[in-house]
Amino acid sequence: MIAGKILEIIRQTPGSENIMLIGGLARNQVVIDYLKDKVKNLVVPVEAPYFEALGAALWALDHETVPLPERSNLFKKAGNTFSYLTNLRDFQNKVEFKELERGTAGAGDRCILGLDVGSTTTKAVLVRINDSKILVSEYLRTNGNPVEASRACITSLYDQLGTLADQIEITGVGVTGSGGK
């Protein structure tokens, strides 16, 4: 059923013959086998179950990070290892928020659709390929129904685009989150 819902969402997107599956769902061999029969080029990297964490670690390798106090105790087996760490509020000045510019959609724009289906919220964004500008976005509560929340986000993007919705080309889709786990 989960694989069927994934196919239902991606079938509406041009280029859906090229899919990379990441996240915990990549450990579900039944889902993978089903998708392999239906998706022309399904890629499930070895790193799929921890792909997002790997991305965070690779980012940290290239950026200044804050050393952890009592590093040797980080993996202590007894007790709560996080109770002694410095409060995150003490490091707000170390956080750099990146914002992409917003753009106005135009006929013939080639875009990437990003969808994050979470256990509590679902987010979608349409980004134009040639200048990385956000054209439209949506943020909704999942309300225990990740498939319906995904549909609602995509419908909202369509509605926001108005008459240009049918003139936009979506050439790729990135999906992440816990909704499919």
Helical axes 2-10 vs 29-38, angle rounded to 10°? 40
Residue 124 and residue 156 in contact, taking contact as beta carbons nearer than 8 Å? yes
Q: Is 75 within a domain?
A: no
Q: Beta-carbon neighbour count of residue 19 at 10 Å?
A: 21
pLDDT digits (tens, 9 = 90+) for 9-33: 787 777 677 888 888 788 888 888 9
Encode pLDDT of 124-160 as tens digits. Answer: 999 999 998 999 999 999 888 888 999 999 999 999 9
Q: Is 50 a member of any domain?
A: yes
What's the total number of domains in the chain?
1
**What domain range is 35 assigned to?**
2-61+101-176
In a domain, 71, yes or no: no
Whole-prediction pTM: 0.51
Q: Which two tokens stand for residue 165?
A: 């919705």
